[in-house]
């Protein structure tokens, strides 16, 4: 489990869900950059970016549900 996951377990507030989504968006963006710059790591970087993107979508949906 990552530090991000632990933070969500310890303090599952709306703000923490938004923060977790921002972390995943930043991670996904960095992986897209790596995919562009490194043909050797393109496939794993794109897989990691996709997983981070899906995770961010779920985190944003959770944040919106909890704030409603």
- Cα 48 from Cα 34, distance rounded (Å): 11
- Cα 51 from Cα 32, distance rounded (Å): 12
Read off the pLDDT of residues 40-65 as tens digits, 9 standing for 90 and up: 999 999 999 999 999 999 999 999 99
Look at residue 68 and tell me whether its pLDDT is greater than 90: no
Confidence of residue 1 (pLDDT cuts 50, 70, 90): low
The residue count of the chain comes to 68
């Amino acid at each position: 489990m990552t530090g991000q996951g632990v933070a969500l377990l310890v303090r599952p507030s709306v703000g923490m869900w938004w923060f977790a989504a921002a972390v995943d968006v930043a991670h996904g963006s960095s992986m897209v950059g790596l995919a562009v710059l490194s043909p050797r790591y393109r496939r794993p970087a794109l897989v990691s970016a996709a997983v981070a993107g899906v995770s961010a979508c779920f985190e944003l949906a959770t944040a919106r549900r909890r704030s409603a």
